[in-house]
């Protein structure tokens, strides 16, 4: 790389059409914009028209932290691909990650700072300047700080130096109320790991090297923790080694994408998955392979979980339980994971402890193909200790209602959409005198803001990230701007630093930009890592070019489970809202790759990506078992009303072959009443009718604890489906072979290179 100043370079590159940087805006607004046919008659030094430039950065579409390489041409981002050097995704990327470009070039982005001019939620805003809006906010924050009033900061789950900045900023304001809120955060998994392993963290689940994966509800190929990494592991375990083909078993009430990929899909009664896990543990102990010194304690604790009693409680056949336990024990190694619905029942922590116990009993802790613990991230201390669970969010709402919150700053998170109506969160916001939103889009929460400080897209910002869950060794990656800012927006870090400067916090935050802050912070990484680079500047450039930094440090742990945990091992009966007479069905709301928690809804590519299980685009639906539909006299496309104790919705029926008869499933993500033209007024949001039941000891929302009733409306509203016939009808399009079959058959001379075709 040459000596060209990067920022200057990016400004030059982007100065063609409307894409001028914030610094240019003032000057540009006075004169008529000049448009060039070829935007750069004199291109910057390292830039040739027609030749793509690639920048490595970090994906910001979900919390997994995949590395990306962005292809830019003439200063515009054209394509996002995975960064092959990044160990999380190794060059691969999911659909949502690919669609990040449409979040950058989204027609509904916020283009400049705004002040609410009408009623809250009316979406009447007037444009303002950064100077004025920041001065307003700083003035208000200073008054609140000096007056001893409460300031809350509610952020999306951020990591690395931005997390550190938020800590210091709130520290400087003398406020304890820094909360991270992510809808999909696995609170119960953290709590379960704390209870069994004494560690409030996510371990690395080594799917790549396992030969037998027992997944309790975790949709690990679609949205659970780190789906791209899990997919890589899945592919490798299936067909990437000379070892036996990996076998995958999925236990869940409604078949997810991972359930479809599994070799065996086993429906278990909602909320009983933990009992099944303890039943398997009982069988493992009975099999005699576990030889730990606490064998007798476990045996005593699990004596009530014989196959027959577990079969009765879970609805899984006793024969199957015995077989699963035996297969799991014999596998070298086997791995058990839990998430999705299992993470979202009232007994989620018990259940996940039971799932983790399986890993403990077959001795795969700290082993390849098992559960590997991570060391603390290199920057920012133990991650996610600020994550707010549902109880914390309800407390926030309660504080607001009591008038105890003076200023609420929201950073790029949308609790108004993802929290149920019953939480009263949206209404509580009305009692907060000042709400400031840092967001790129007019989402439901931002419509409630008094001041909007529009933030950059992740493709325009500096930042860094330590992926969670880690990979068993420390990894850090730098996020760098790949295009110059499109609009009059600012990076979240720069906004915080600016406010900090105005509030006299220069001592703890001396940097004048996020970039400077990062560079300063990465000096520590440079010093601890003794890299090949001769000086820091070389190291910094190397990291920017590769996009990622890693360290070969692995923890060696032995886990000893406390006797009190063993004695108290149990899975409580799941709690459900609504009685079974009036509300006969369990509601199963689920996330998809495309929509995630609803953030994909404003991206047209994601709206047009057919749901893999149903091929539906643009809309909401409710899935039910063919027997259920028959009993209720419902056909595909009939509009039904789904009612819980806390509200009702209307959605069309989709008959789905792999769902339990007493369960109905609805996708999360649609049903926005703001968030731009592609998302708005489309479908329904099942999260809105959930009961405010929390999981014991993790305090997270039990999204699967709501019972509902179904009523036909007599109307039809078939969803738009791209797929055709769902059965093969003898066409043999997808062909199968037996696992144990040996190569054979005849050799057909096709395409002049022989393909061996097996005759059946």
Where in 289-328 is the site for another protein (CB under 8 A)? 320, 323
Among 87, 172, 227, 667, which residue sits at the site for another protein (rule: CB under 8 A)? Answer: 227
Interface with another protein, residue 637, by CB under 8 A:
no
Please check whether residue 202 is in contact with residue 186, taking contact to mean a CB–CB distance below 8 angstroms: yes
Interface with another protein, residue 24, by CB under 8 A:
no
**For another protein, which is the closer residue by CB, 359 or 607?**
607
The CB-of-652 to another protein minimum distance in angstroms stands at 13
Interface with another protein, residue 723, by CB under 8 A:
yes
**For another protein, which is the closer residue by CB, 222 or 479?**
222
For another protein, how many residues bind (rule: CB under 8 A)?
Answer: 107
Instruction: Give me the half-sphere count of Cα atoms (radius 13 Å) on the Cβ side of residue 292.
Output: 20
Which range of residues in 11-19, 169-177, 208-216, 573-581 is near another protein by CB under 8 A?
Answer: 11-19
Residues 596-615 close enough to bind another protein by CB under 8 A:
604-610, 612-613, 615
- Please name the residues in contact with 249: beta carbons below 8 A apart, sequence gap of 6 or more: 212, 213, 214, 215, 262, 263, 264, 265, 266, 324
Residues 517-576 close enough to bind another protein by CB under 8 A:
none
Among 44, 91, 287, 584, which residue sits at the site for another protein (rule: CB under 8 A)? Answer: 91
Interface with another protein, residue 17, by CB under 8 A:
yes
Residues 331-370 close enough to bind another protein by CB under 8 A:
none
Residues 654-693 close enough to bind another protein by CB under 8 A:
657-659, 661, 677
Among 93, 179, 355, 665, which residue sits at the site for another protein (rule: CB under 8 A)? Answer: 93
Query: The tokens 């405010």 sit on which residue?
Result: 692
Among 4, 7, 24, 73, which residue sits at the site for another protein (rule: CB under 8 A)? Answer: 73
The CB-of-221 to another protein minimum distance in angstroms stands at 5
Among 135, 243, 560, 757, which residue sits at the site for another protein (rule: CB under 8 A)? Answer: 757
The CB-of-537 to another protein minimum distance in angstroms stands at 31
The CB-of-588 to another protein minimum distance in angstroms stands at 15
Among 222, 394, 479, 492, which residue sits at the site for another protein (rule: CB under 8 A)? Answer: 222
Interface with another protein, residue 80, by CB under 8 A:
yes
Binding mask 127-166 for another protein (x = CB under 8 A): ----------------------------------------
Among 65, 82, 186, 472, which residue sits at the site for another protein (rule: CB under 8 A)? Answer: 82
Interface with another protein, residue 107, by CB under 8 A:
yes
Among 593, 700, 703, 706, which residue sits at the site for another protein (rule: CB under 8 A)? Answer: 593
The CB-of-75 to another protein minimum distance in angstroms stands at 9
Say how many C-beta atoms besides its own lie within 10 A of residue 387's C-beta.
17
Please check whether residue 571 is in contact with residue 351, taking contact to mean a CB–CB distance below 8 angstroms: yes
Interface with another protein, residue 101, by CB under 8 A:
yes
**For another protein, which is the closer residue by CB, 264 or 650?**
264
User: Between the CA of residue 185 and those of 66, 293, 325, 339, 424, what are the distances in Å?
Assistant: 17, 35, 30, 10, 21
Binding mask 246-285 for another protein (x = CB under 8 A): -x-------x-xx-xx-xxxxx------------------
Interface with another protein, residue 7, by CB under 8 A:
no
Q: Running DSSP on this structure, what letter comes out for residue 570?
A: -
Interface with another protein, residue 34, by CB under 8 A:
no
Q: Where are the alpha helices (DSSP H) in 315-376?
A: 318-330, 348-361
- Residue 597 CA to residue 591 CA, distance in Å, equals 6
Interface with another protein, residue 240, by CB under 8 A:
yes
Which range of residues in 38-46, 140-148, 283-291, 739-747 is near another protein by CB under 8 A?
Answer: 739-747
Structure tokens at 586: 């369990």
Among 61, 451, 594, 642, which residue sits at the site for another protein (rule: CB under 8 A)? Answer: 594
Among 221, 301, 429, 705, which residue sits at the site for another protein (rule: CB under 8 A)? Answer: 221
- Residue 402 CA to residue 379 CA, distance in Å, equals 37
- Give CA angle at 259 (275, 722), nearest 5°: 145
Please check whether residue 431 is in contact with residue 401, taking contact to mean a CB–CB distance below 8 angstroms: yes
**For another protein, which is the closer residue by CB, 68 or 153?**
68
User: Between the CA of residue 26 and those of 14, 127, 438, 488, what are the distances in Å?
Assistant: 16, 14, 22, 10
Q: Running DSSP on this structure, what letter comes out for residue 331?
A: S
Q: At what angle are helices 492-502 and 514-529 packed, to 10 degrees? A: 110
Interface with another protein, residue 105, by CB under 8 A:
yes
Q: Is the omega angle on the peptide bond into residue 321 within 30 degrees of 0, that is, cis? A: no
Residues 381-440 close enough to bind another protein by CB under 8 A:
none
- Please name the residues in contact with 477: beta carbons below 8 A apart, sequence gap of 6 or more: 58, 65, 67, 86, 464, 465, 466, 467, 547, 548, 549
Q: At what angle are helices 307-314 and 318-330 packed, to 10 degrees? A: 110
**For another protein, which is the closer residue by CB, 118 or 626?**
626
**For another protein, which is the closer residue by CB, 530 or 752?**
752
**For another protein, which is the closer residue by CB, 143 or 627?**
627
The CB-of-564 to another protein minimum distance in angstroms stands at 38
Q: Running DSSP on this structure, what letter comes out for residue 459?
A: G
Task: For residue 567, give the H/E element and its range.
Answer: helix 563-567
Interface with another protein, residue 189, by CB under 8 A:
no
Coil, strand or helix: which one is 463? strand
- Residue 474 CA to residue 379 CA, distance in Å, equals 10
Instruction: Give me the half-sphere count of Cα atoms (radius 13 Å) on the Cβ side of residue 65.
Output: 23
CA-based nearest residue to 449, from 412, 487, 491: 412
**For another protein, which is the closer residue by CB, 541 or 630?**
630
List the beta strands (DSSP E) in 593-669: 616-617, 622-624, 638-644, 647-655, 663-667
The CB-of-700 to another protein minimum distance in angstroms stands at 26
Beta strand 67-73 with 53-58 is antiparallel
Interface with another protein, residue 45, by CB under 8 A:
no
């Amino acid at each position: 790389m040459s000596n060209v100043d990067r920022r200057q370079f990016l400004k030059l590159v982007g100065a063609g059409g409307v894409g001028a940087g914030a610094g240019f805006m003032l000057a540009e607004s006075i004169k008529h914009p000049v448009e060039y046919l070829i935007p750069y008659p004199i291109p910057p030094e390292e830039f040739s028209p027609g030749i793509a430039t690639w920048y490595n950065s970090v994906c910001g579409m979900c919390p997994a932290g995949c590395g990306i390489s962005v292809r830019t041409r003439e200063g515009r981002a054209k394509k996002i691909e995975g960064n092959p050097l990044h160990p999380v995704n190794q060059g691969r990327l999911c659909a949502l990650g690919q669609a990040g470009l449409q979040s950058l070039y989204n027609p509904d982005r916020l283009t400049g700072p705004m002040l609410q001019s009408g009623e809250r939620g009316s979406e009447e805003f007037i444009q303002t300047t950064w100077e004025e809006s920041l001065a307003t906010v700083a003035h208000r924050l200073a008054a609140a700080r000096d007056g001893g009033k409460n300031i809350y900061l509610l952020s999306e789950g951020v990591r690395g130096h931005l997390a550190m900045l938020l800590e210091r900023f709130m520290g400087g304001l003398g406020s304890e109320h820094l909360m991270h809120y992510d809808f999909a955060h696995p609170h119960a998994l953290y709590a379960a790991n704390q209870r069994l392993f004494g560690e409030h963290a996510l371990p690395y689940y080594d799917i790549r090297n396992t030969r037998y994966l027992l997944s309790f509800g975790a949709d690990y190929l679609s949205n659970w923790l780190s789906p791209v990494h899990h997919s890589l592991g899945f592919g490798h375990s299936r067909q990437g080694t000379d070892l036996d083909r990996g076998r995958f078993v999925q236990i869940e009430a409604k078949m997810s994408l991972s359930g479809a990929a599994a070799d065996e899909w086993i429906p278990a009664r909602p909320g009983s998955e933990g009992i099944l896990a303890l039943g398997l543990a009982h069988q493992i102990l009975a099999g005699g392979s576990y030889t730990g010194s606490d064998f007798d304690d476990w045996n005593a604790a699990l004596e009530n979980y014989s196959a027959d009693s577990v079969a009765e409680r879970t609805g899984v056949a006793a024969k199957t339980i015995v077989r699963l336990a035996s297969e799991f024990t014999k596998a070298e190694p086997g791995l058990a994971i839990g998430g999705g619905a299992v993470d979202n029942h009232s007994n989620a922590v018990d259940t996940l402890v039971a799932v983790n116990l399986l890993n403990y009993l077959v001795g795969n802790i700290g082993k390849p193909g098992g559960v590997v613990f991570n060391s603390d991230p290199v920057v920012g201390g133990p991650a996610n200790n600020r994550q707010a669970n549902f109880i914390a969010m309800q407390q926030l709402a309660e504080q607001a209602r009591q008038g105890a919150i003076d200023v609420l700053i929201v950073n790029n998170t949308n609790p108004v959409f993802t929290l149920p109506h019953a939480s009263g969160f949206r209404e509580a916001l009305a009692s907060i005198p000042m709400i400031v939103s840092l967001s790129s889009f007019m989402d439901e929460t931002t419509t409630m803001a008094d001041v909007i400080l529009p933030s950059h897209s992740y493709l325009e910002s500096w930042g860094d990230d330590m992926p969670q869950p880690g990979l068993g060794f420390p990894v850090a990656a730098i996020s760098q701007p790949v295009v110059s800012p499109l609009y009059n927006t600012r990076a979240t870090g720069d906004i915080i630093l600016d406010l900090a400067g105005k509030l006299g916090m220069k001592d703890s935050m001396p940097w004048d930009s996020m970039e400077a802050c990062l560079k300063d912070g990465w000096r520590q990484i440079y010093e601890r890592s003794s890299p090949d680079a001769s000086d820091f500047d070389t190291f910094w450039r190397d990291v920017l070019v590769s996009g990622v930094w890693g360290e070969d440090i692995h923890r060696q742990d032995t886990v000893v489970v406390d006797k009190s945990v063993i004695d108290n091992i149990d899975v409580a009966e799941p709690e459900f809202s609504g009685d079974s007479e009036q509300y006969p069905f369990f509601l199963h709301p689920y996330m998809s790759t495309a929509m995630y928690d609803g953030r994909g809804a404003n991206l047209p590519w994601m709206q047009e990506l057919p749901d893999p299980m149903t091929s539906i685009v643009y809309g909401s639906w409710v899935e039910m078992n063919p027997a259920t539909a028959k009993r209720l006299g419902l056909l595909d496309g009939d509009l039904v009303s789904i009612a819980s104790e806390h509200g009702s919705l209307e959605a069309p029926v989709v008959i789905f072959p792999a769902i339990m008869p007493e369960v109905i499933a609805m996708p999360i993500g649609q049903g926005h009443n703001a968030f731009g033209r592609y998302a708005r007024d489309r479908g329904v949001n099942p999260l809105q009718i959930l009961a405010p039941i929390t999981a014991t000891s993790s305090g997270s929302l039990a999204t699967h604890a709501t019972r509902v009733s179904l009523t036909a409306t007599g109307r039809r509203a078939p969803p738009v489906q791209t797929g055709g016939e769902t059965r093969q009808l003898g066409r043999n399009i997808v062909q199968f072979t037996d696992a144990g079959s040996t190569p054979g058959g005849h050799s057909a001379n096709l395409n002049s290179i022989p393909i061996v075709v097996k005759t059946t």
